[in-house]
Amino acid sequence: MKRSSAGRWAAALVFLGCLGLGCGPGAWAADTVNVGLSTTLAGAIGPLGQSNRNGIELALARINAEGGLLGKQVRLLTAEDTAKPETGVANARRFAQSDKVKALFGPVSSAVGSAEAGVAALYKIPIFYSVSNDVDQTGRSFSRYVFQVVPSTYMEPRAVASYVAERGRRKGWKTYATISPEYSFGRATVREFLAGMKANGAKVDLVGQQWPELGVSDFGPYVSAVAARKPDFLFVGQYGGDLVALTRQAAAAGLFKAAGVYAGYWVGALQALGARAPAGAISSDRAVPFYLSDSSGMKSFTQAYRDKFGGWPPSWAILGYSAVEAWAQGVREAGTFDADKVAAALSGAVVHSLLRGPFRIRACDHQAEVPEYLGVLSGEVDPRYGIRTLDQVQEIPASRTMMSCQAKQALQHS
């Protein structure tokens, strides 16, 4: 007898206890395979890693509740990387050597992600990125074992640029400033945003750029420097706890009232800020937000997430879930956990995601052809969710944002 979707989710929640340390030694017998997640779980960007792990756990719990993968239960092993490439590499190497993992799931930091790609290639283990999104992960760090289900640092800022350019023409924005973290993600995001603005016919008078270190607590000097230039528009590349701190300090200085602004106000930051999130600010999401989807799969997932973890599921949970879906589909289609056969099965394949709908894994770089969602923060906090939500939403398709295969292949061989 086929169980209902709700019944399958209920069974999946029972299995979540065995994904960590909730089951005794006998719970994991020979018919078990391991997968590994080395990510950041503490500090300013830790909430991204935590919710991503939660989504991965829910996906694996559902697989296990439905009989496992090729008849085997799947166990998730996790490790803290402290956002340091050398730690991520050590964790991934340990997973490969000691735990014989059949898949790796990527971290929060793109610098760590690119470093872990080398481990995946060396040990022939597929790695799936669903938070870190530097274009170099599928560029200079690419191998046949690398897969990315999140829009890249080429795709996302170009989607933002198309939205900002259109609004900027209507509002008469001329002068622009940027503030973004000083590492590969931050630099690439600003570079591609500016390139995207030019590609969309916008004339940008760049009056200032600020590059805080990741995890800095005092944004005062950077806010003052930007405010002194009086830009019409400010592009913000900070995220997570850094964005929350910046927003509070910028609000005290009146910066966001004086200028239009873009920032990635994702669910975690919105929950932390509440009514202090700037109404009318342009924001984006890398997966369709849970509150904008009316699919039964998303509704069941949202309820399961709330039942197990509390709170509403950020996009990182949705993306983590879809990374597991991609790997599991590859395993099923290959009929084996063999990495080369799984990689071949996924290259160019359409992944059928319960939460995101179908999306293709492009053969030339294993980048998922997925959209970005742009909108403005609502004028009022939605009482159902306790956050400002996205209004005036546009779905920017991958066809408008992806780097060509020719350009990506040149990057892969650079």
Tell me the Ramachandran region of residue 408: left when phi exceeds 0, alpha when psi lies from -120 to 50, beta otherwise. Answer: alpha
Are residues 64 and 16 part of one domain? Answer: yes
Beta-bridged to residue 362, according to DSSP, are none
Amino acid 320: pLDDT: 98
Amino acid 28: pLDDT: 46
* Boundaries of domain holding 142: 5-151+294-370
Are residues 72 and 29 part of one domain? Answer: yes
Backbone angles phi, psi at 139, to 5 degrees: -115, -105
- Ranges assigned E (strand) in 200-331: 205-210, 233-236, 260-262, 282-285
Whole-structure pTM value: 0.90
Are residues 314 and 223 part of one domain? Answer: no
Tell me the C-alpha distance between 412 and 53, whole Å. Answer: 29
Tell me the C-alpha distance between 255 and 227, whole Å. Answer: 6
Say if 244 falls within a structural domain: yes
Q: Give the end-to-end CA distance of the chain in Å, rounded to a whole number.
A: 55
Are residues 280 and 186 part of one domain? Answer: yes
Say if 128 falls within a structural domain: yes
Are residues 339 and 265 part of one domain? Answer: no
Nearest CA to 227 out of 210, 203, 205 is that of 210
Tell me the C-alpha distance between 102 and 73, whole Å. Answer: 12
Are residues 172 and 72 part of one domain? Answer: no
Amino acid 1: pLDDT: 41
Amino acid 258: pLDDT: 83
Say if 85 falls within a structural domain: yes
Residue with token string 């408008």:
400
Are residues 244 and 380 part of one domain? Answer: yes
Which residues, 6 or more positions from 92, have their beta carbon under 8 angstroms from its beta carbon? 36, 38, 104, 116, 119, 120
Are residues 136 and 16 part of one domain? Answer: yes
Tell me the C-alpha distance between 76 and 19, whole Å. Answer: 6
Are residues 44 and 137 part of one domain? Answer: yes
Which two three-digit tokens encode residue 144? 């046949």
Amino acid 228: pLDDT: 95
Our CA dihedral for 247, 242, 382, 284, rounded to 10 degrees, sits at: 100
Tell me the C-alpha distance between 81 and 8, whole Å. Answer: 33
Amino acid 149: pLDDT: 98
Amino acid at 322: S
CATH number at residue 237: 3.40.50.2300
Helix (H, G, I), strand (E, B) or coil at 65: helix
* Overall number of domains in the chain: 2
Amino acid 5: pLDDT: 55
Are residues 79 and 146 part of one domain? Answer: yes
Say if 72 falls within a structural domain: yes
Which residues of the chain fall short of a pLDDT of 50? 1-2, 14-15, 17-28
| CA angle in degrees (0–180, nearest 5) for 174-175-179 | 140
Beta-bridged to residue 210, according to DSSP, are 179
Predicted confidence (pLDDT) per residue in 317-332, tens digit: 999 999 999 999 999 9
Say if 270 falls within a structural domain: yes
Say if 412 falls within a structural domain: no
Are residues 280 and 188 part of one domain? Answer: yes
Amino acid 10: pLDDT: 57
Which residues, 6 or more positions from 96, have their beta carbon under 8 angstroms from its beta carbon? 36, 119, 122, 123, 125
Amino acid 190: pLDDT: 96
Backbone angles phi, psi at 40, to 5 degrees: -95, 120
Are residues 273 and 223 part of one domain? Answer: yes
Amino acid 215: pLDDT: 80
Tell me the C-alpha distance between 32 and 71, whole Å. Answer: 9
Tell me the C-alpha distance between 172 and 194, whole Å. Answer: 17
Amino acid 135: pLDDT: 94
Amino acid 214: pLDDT: 83
Amino acid at 143: S
Beta-bridged to residue 359, according to DSSP, are 351
Say if 104 falls within a structural domain: yes
Say if 222 falls within a structural domain: yes
Tell me the C-alpha distance between 234 and 386, whole Å. Answer: 26
